[in-house]
Amino acid sequence: MAEGAIDPAELGGRLVGSGADEVERAAEAALRPKKLEEFVGQQVVRDQLSLVLHASIARDAAPDHVLLSGPPGLGKTTLAMIIAAELGTSLRVTSGPAIQHAGDLAAVLSSLEEGEVLFIDEIHRLARPAEELLYVAMEDFRVDVVVGKGAGASAIPLALPPFTVVGATTRSGLLPAPLRDRFGFTGHLDFYAAADLERVILRSAGLLGVEVRHEAAHEIAGRSRGTPRIANRLLRRVRDWAQVRGDGVLDLHAARSALQVYEVDPIGLDRLDRAVLDALCRRFGGGPVGLTTLAMMVGEEPETVETVAEPYLVREGLVARTPRGRVATAEAWDHLGLEAPPGTWAAGAAAVEPGTSQAARTLFDEAEGRDPRP
Ligand SMILES: Nc1ncnc2c1ncn2[C@@H]1O[C@H](COP(=O)(O)OP(=O)(O)OP(=O)(O)O)[C@@H](O)[C@H]1O
């Protein structure tokens, strides 16, 4: 690597993608809040959860099962760890995709100790037989162990000690109602306000032992897509820049220069996001255009465009999903510094319906199976 170059290998992917790989998870571990009071923002969920936990501690009983829903990188795993820590118990971790058969889940459940917290990430991806086993375990603290095969098979009930399931999901709409109903408390994590992300950045900078100016924290927060994981990731990249090309202090100049190197624009769009907008507006006159065609134009798989770039573009009101395909909103044209020509969807939609971005968000929420935001 050339002297002064910044190595993006640690990222293992997109700088502003909200998922995380193994390498990144290790970097994140050091920055995780350990107590509820250190968990920044999400005031409503924090208050509600605090009541659930303190009541259970006062009663000396395992709390109700907890379901945490919300997009990736907003703190579901962190909250699960905090729940176990606040209860003074240990956390067992598994995930929907890791459990292939009901027997795998039975093995995990039957090894739980009294009061332990079982964290099931991506719980909406559990296979149906495992789901059914989980209902019974959550409700009756019992698993039925099947012995033998075929007509001679019998189920031997095995009592489990009281425990608490913390389920995390990015798609709560996909959870079957019987499973959702087994959770006594559901907390929905929403994207963070910029002021909260600034606090996340200042806290993380303290833990990393770097000096960050308020204006720099503000700048990074504004480009972090409402997501603490991205805020921490951008902070680490700005730290790299400051150490390699600056004087080690994370000031506004360092923040802007580093984020320019990584092509993260002032509202947090990266190269793929901009390529999608560009193709939509310049190549397809603002759409509507089908996902496959759009993906082909930007040289990506349709799934990548749909799951990686599109959610944020839709949330920001730059792209709308209509029954006839993707369309660029007036905000998208604006962001690219272009004027929506007459006859485009944006020009027409803006004239008919002034709250274009709200309309786009509503479409997105409906597509995600969530209630449209007010
Ligand atoms: N409220 C918060 N305050 C401070 N840091 C936070 C907060 N929420 C998340 N973080 C940080 O963001 C990173 C990602 O959080 P976490 O892994 O808990 O997200 P997640 O919702 O479980 O994501 P995924 O669904 O991808 O597993 C962690 O490093 C964590 O420390």
> What CATH code is carried by the domain that includes residue 208?
1.10.8.60
**Is 373 among the catalytic positions?**
no
Residues 167 and 290 occupy one common structural domain: no
Residue 372: left (phi > 0), alpha (psi -120 to 50), or beta? beta
Ligand 1: centre distance to CA 29 (Å): 9
Give bridge partners of residue 164 from the DSSP assignment. 117
Active-site residue, 344 included: no
CA proximity to 182, closest of 52, 64, 70, 63: 64
Q: Is residue 146 part of a domain?
A: yes
Residue 108 lies in a domain: yes
Q: From CA 39, how far away is CA 18, in angstroms rounded?
A: 19
Per the structure, how many domains does the chain have? 3
Spacing, Cα 73 to ligand 1 middle (Å): 5
Q: Could you tell me if 179 and 86 lie in one domain?
A: yes
49 lines ligand 1 (CB under 6 A): no
pLDDT at residue 51, as a whole number = 96
Output the domain CATH number for residue 114: 3.40.50.300
Residue 141, annotated as binding a ligand: yes
118 and 245 part of one domain: no
pLDDT > 60? residue 366: no
Write the CB contacts of 194 (distance below 8 Å, at least 6 apart in sequence): 218, 221, 222
List the catalytic residue out of 14, 223, 225, 229: 229
Ligand 1, atom 17, residue with closest C-alpha: 77
**From the CB of 236, is ligand 1 less than 6 Å away?**
no
pLDDT of residue 24: 67
In a shared domain, residues 206 and 60: no
- Give the domain-ending residue among 136, 158, 188: 188
Query: Taking all residues of the chain, what is their mean pLDDT, rounded to a whole number?
Result: 86
Q: How far apart are CA 32 and CA 229, in angstroms?
A: 10
Residue-level pLDDT at 14: 67
pLDDT band for position 355 (cuts 50, 70, 90): very low
Mark whether 50 and 156 lie in a shared domain: yes
Q: Is residue 3 situated within a structural domain?
A: no
Closest residue CA from atom 13 of ligand 1? 229
Distance 37 CA to ligand 1 centre (A): 15
**Strands 117-121 vs 91-95: parallel, antiparallel or unpaired:** parallel
**Lowest-confidence region among 137-141, 244-248, 357-361:** 357-361
Q: 346: domain CATH number?
A: 1.10.10.10
- Length of the chain, please? 374
One domain for residues 87 and 151: yes
Is residue 171 marked as binding? no
Task: Tell me the torsion sign for CA atoms 345, 351, 357, 359.
Answer: negative
Q: Give tens-digit pLDDT for 279-302.
A: 999 999 998 999 999 999 999 999
- DSSP-derived secondary structure for 122-175: TGGG--HHHHHHHHHHHHHSEEEEEES-GGG-EEEEEE----EEEEEES-GGGS
Query: Is 268 assigned a ligand-binding role in the annotation?
Result: no
Q: What is d(CA 312, CA 135) in angstroms, rounded to the nearest whole number?
A: 34
- Among 188, 217, 250, the domain boundary falls at 188
Please check whether residue 25 lies inside any domain of the structure: no
31 is in an annotated binding site: yes
Same domain, yes or no: 142 and 49 = yes
Residue 126 shares a structural domain with residue 207: no
H helix or E strand, kind and range, residue 179: helix 177-181
Tens of pLDDT, residue by residue over 218-273, are 999 999 999 999 999 999 999 999 999 999 999 999 999 999 999 999 999 988 99
Residues 179 and 42 in one domain: yes
pLDDT of amino acid 349: 52
181 among annotated binding-site residues: no
Look up 233 and say whether it is catalytic: no
Please check whether residue 154 lies inside any domain of the structure: yes
Indicate if ligand 1 lies below 6 Å from the C-beta of 68: no
- 3-state secondary structure at position 315: helix
Contact 361, 321 (CB under 8 A): no
Q: Is 15 among the domain residues?
A: no
Print the domain residue range for 345. 271-367
Which residue in 14, 121, 169, 270 is the catalytic one? 121
Flag whether 24 is in a domain.
no
**pLDDT tens-digit series, residues 148-172:** 777 888 888 899 999 999 999 988 8
Where is pLDDT greater, at 172 or 196? 196
In a domain, 8, yes or no: no
Round the CA-based radius of gyration of the chain to a whole number and report it. 23
Q: Is the dihedral of CA 61, 64, 65, 69 positive or negative?
A: negative
pLDDT tens, residue by residue, 204-219 = 999 999 999 999 999 9
Tell me, using a 6 A CB cutoff, whether residue 39 lines ligand 1: yes
What phi and psi, each to the nearest 5 degrees, are found at residue 68? Answer: -115, 125
Of the residues 237, 261, 285, the one at which a domain ends: 261
Are 170 and 199 contained in the same domain? no
pLDDT for the residue 283: 92
For residues 181 and 222, state if they share a domain: no
User: Are 321 and 361 in a shared domain?
Assistant: yes
Q: Which of 94, 164, 169, 170 is catalytic?
A: 170
